Amino acid sequence: MNLEQELRRALKRKDPPRGFHDKVLSRIAAGETVPTPATIRRWPRVALPVAASLMLAFGGTYYMHWQQERQAREQLAQSEHAAREVVLALQIASEMISSTQAKIEEITRHDATNTQ
């Protein structure tokens, strides 16, 4: 005999204990109810893909948001750096102009003294 036949023999239908039938009818007569079975196993089967999808969606959104914030921070830092460099350039230019102006004034004064 093969395993399939042995399993059919071992797993054949079984009559319930005596009184089963009456117990079912008594519970019905007493108005007892049980939870609706339609969704009993649907949840575990559906829950995992739904949870995975939600995690992917939230994770993706969070990652994009984080990337945008990082880019914005980098752009702000670059702008601040550029502004500081412009200010520094202006300060240098201003100092050079002041220095040049001072030299011109000194030369002008010297020429005027020599002429007198």
Binding site residues, other proteins, CB under 8 A: 2-4, 6-18, 20-21, 23-25, 27-28, 32-38, 40-42, 44-45
21 or 113: CB nearest other proteins: 21
Minimum distance, C-beta of residue 39 to other proteins, in the bound complex (Å):
9
Token couple for 90: 């202006």
Minimum distance, C-beta of residue 60 to other proteins, in the bound complex (Å):
27
> What are the two backbone dihedrals, phi and then psi, of residue 31, each rounded to the nearest 5 degrees?
80, 15
6 or 69: CB nearest other proteins: 6
Between CA 88 and CA 96 the distance in angstroms is 12
Minimum distance, C-beta of residue 55 to other proteins, in the bound complex (Å):
22
User: N- to C-terminal Cα distance for the chain?
Assistant: 138
